[in-house]
Amino acid sequence: MARFVVTIPDEFLKEVDARAKAEHRSRSELVREALRNYLRSGERKEDISNRPDFKRAVRFQDEMRRRHEGSGYSGSAVVREMRDRIY
């Protein structure tokens, strides 16, 4: 197994150490997992437009838009409101 040196601010290291201690893990285990998750997150940036679930969702949205045309209902506005409540 290789080793390497990383320079981080002292306050950040305190957070890392506190999390590692709380989870009964070593600093190295915590950093390895964080890097693994970060690297995997880049793998998910695929083109999803050909996935069946994506196509189904788009068809559903199109149908809802047609059904509610002229009613003043905005699915986008509903999603924005939900997002704003969560974040």
DSSP line for the chain: ---------HHHHHHHHHHHHHTT--HHHHHHHHHHHHHHHHHT----TTSHHHHHHHHHHHHHHHHHTTS---HHHHHHHHHHHH-
Global pTM exceeds 0.85: no
- Identify residue 31 by its one-letter amino acid code: V
Indicate the pLDDT class of residue 20, thresholds 50, 70 and 90. Answer: very high
Task: Please determine, for residue 43, whether its predicted confidence score (pLDDT) is greater than 90.
Answer: no
